[in-house]
């Protein structure tokens, strides 16, 4: 449940709460490296090496922490301070670190939680704040098995307050811009509470000069499997199951179970990113390969193998190929078709290289299939290919 409270403040966006964030630590564009170091120290427990070992050890340590941050944000794990990474770092955010290690799991002991607003915003009316939270709780109740009830007593599970600067919780706010709010894991006392920086330009309308708080880092609304316009990021088999990937979620369809289960990708494979591009199962090797951008991972016995991610250039793709739309394993021929834009690339799994004469137009190899292909899978001897919410 920890992630729920770390991200709660941004879920007010559907209730049209807005803020106007400024650069997190006031660092100029020319100081990206220094900015990144301070950011990783604050939010990823990066501890620069001092003394004689600094020159030899620090680059590797810094890059490891940077990749950890990039993985958390779903970015390409390059280990480089690139524009996309800096943009993510400069976005408005929660004031607590993104990665923590705990000796035990901290969770709520009941499924009906009470909340109380102890201090309101100086920028909004009490009615506006209450309405915003009612809508936020409604969204969460649709995504997780919890109910939320307002309580006027002081012993509510979640106490919400708008505060400025040092508000006696050990995490002072930084004024307008940067850190917007922070929260605490479930527990007694301050546990479960949510604090907002009252100096932010909170508003209930998207006024000029203000922008919505970013939802990029937060759990999206759970996809509805009955949505007729639903599209998939990737589809693959895995042993006896079919797995459908969408955003940070996946559906697992097993022939022995009537219900289709949905879960977070990271609940089974913490190493895998969100928004997967493609995936396929090599049934002859009993492995699953997952692709995002120029990287891929290999899963065996429900575990991500060591040494991953690797670069897709290992398949023989030129540097001009930066991502894959879909992949389909042809078991009888021991070949894998990769769909990229309007082209089909064919990989010989036994030989370990791309077949001569490829890429070829998808229309040539797969007549009647529109491109680009979003997802593909083999199931019960049939080929299924998707474009948006259409399957072929």
Name the region of 255 (left: φ>0; alpha: ψ -120 to 50; beta: rest). alpha
- Is 155 annotated in a binding site? The answer is no
Please, are residues 290 and 327 in contact by the beta-carbon 8 Å criterion? no
Question: In degrees, to the nearest 5, what angle opens at C-alpha 280 toward C-alphas 272 and 240?
Answer: 95
Burial class from Cβ neighbours inside 10 Å (0-12, 13-18, 19+) for residue 129 reads buried
Look at the block and give the residue holding tokens 């950011």.
Answer: 39
Do the annotations mark residue 174 as ligand-binding?
A: yes
Q: How far apart are CA 392 and CA 382, in angstroms?
A: 10
Q: Binding site annotation covers 237? A: no
197 annotated to a ligand binding site: yes
Helix ranges, 183-293 (H)? 265-268
Q: Say whether 348 counts as a known binding-site residue.
A: no
Q: Identify any residues that bridge with 278 across adjacent strands, giving them in sequence order.
A: 291
Q: Is 71 annotated as a binding residue?
A: no
Annotated binding-site residue? 132? no
254 labelled binding-site residue: no
Is 350 annotated as belonging to a binding site? no
The answer to whether the annotation marks 375 as part of a ligand binding site is: no
End-to-end CA, the chain? 39
Which residues in 161-189 are b (16+ Cβ under 10 Å) and which e? bbbeeebeeeeebbeebbbbbbbbbbeee
Q: Is 207 flagged in the annotation as binding? A: no
Q: Would you say 166 is a known binding-site residue? A: no
Q: Is 52 helix (H, G, I), strand (E, B) or coil?
A: helix
Is 191 flagged in the annotation as binding? yes
Q: If you ran DSSP here, which 8-state letter would residue 34 be given?
A: H
Is 279 assigned to a binding site? yes
Residue 281: cis peptide before it, omega within 30 degrees of 0: no
Annotated binding site: 94, 157, 167, 169, 174-175, 182, 191, 193, 195, 197-198, 200, 233, 277, 279, 327, 374
Annotated binding site for Zn(2+): 94, 167, 169, 182, 195
Annotated binding site for Ca(2+): 157, 174-175, 191, 193, 197-198, 200, 233, 277, 279, 327, 374
């Amino acid at each position: 449940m920890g992630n729920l409270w770390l991200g709660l403040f941004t879920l007010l966006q559907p209730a049209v709460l807005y803020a106007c964030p400024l650069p997190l630590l006031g660092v100029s564009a020319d100081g990206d490296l220094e900015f990144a170091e301070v950011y990783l120290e604050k939010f990823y427990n990066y501890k620069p090496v001092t003394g004689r070992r600094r020159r030899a050890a620090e680059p590797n340590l810094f890059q490891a922490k940077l990749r950890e941050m990039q993985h958390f944000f779903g970015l390409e794990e390059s280990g480089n301070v690139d524009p996309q990474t800096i943009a993510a770092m400069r976005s408005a955010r929660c004031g607590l670190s993104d990665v923590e290690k705990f000796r035990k799991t901290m969770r709520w002991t009941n499924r009906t939680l009470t909340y109380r607003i102890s201090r309101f915003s100086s920028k909004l009316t009490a009615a506006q704040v209450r309405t915003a939270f009612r809508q936020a709780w409604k969204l969460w109740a649709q995504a997780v098995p919890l109910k939320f009830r307002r309580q006027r007593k002081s012993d509510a599970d979640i106490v919400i307050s708008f505060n400025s600067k040092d508000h006696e919780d050990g995490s002072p706010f930084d004024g307008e811009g940067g850190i917007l709010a922070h929260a605490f894991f479930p527990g007694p006392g301050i546990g479960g509470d949510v604090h907002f920086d009252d100096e932010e330009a909170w508003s209930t309308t998207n006024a000029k000069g203000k922008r919505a708080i970013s939802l990029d880092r937060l759990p999206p609304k759970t996809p509805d499997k009955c949505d007729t316009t639903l599209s998939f990021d990737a589809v693959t088999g895995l042993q006896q199951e079919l797995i459908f990937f969408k955003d940070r979620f996946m559906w697992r369809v097993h022939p022995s179970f009537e219900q289709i289960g949905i879960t977070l990708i990271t609940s089974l494979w913490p190493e895998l990113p969100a928004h997967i591009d493609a995936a396929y199962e090599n049934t002859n090797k009993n492995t699953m390969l997952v692709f995002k951008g120029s990287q891929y991972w290999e899963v065996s016995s429900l575990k991500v193998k060591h040494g991953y991610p690797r670069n897709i250039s290992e398949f023989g793709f030129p540097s001009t190929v930066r991502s894959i739309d879909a992949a389909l394993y042809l078991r009888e021929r021991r070949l894998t078709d990769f769909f990229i834009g309007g082209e089909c690339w064919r990989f010989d799994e036994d030989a370990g290289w791309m077949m001569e004469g490829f890429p070829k137009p998808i229309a040539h190899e797969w007549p009647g299939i529109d491109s680009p292909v979003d997802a593909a899978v083999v199931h019960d001897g049939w080929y299924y290919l998707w474009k948006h919410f259409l399957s072929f």
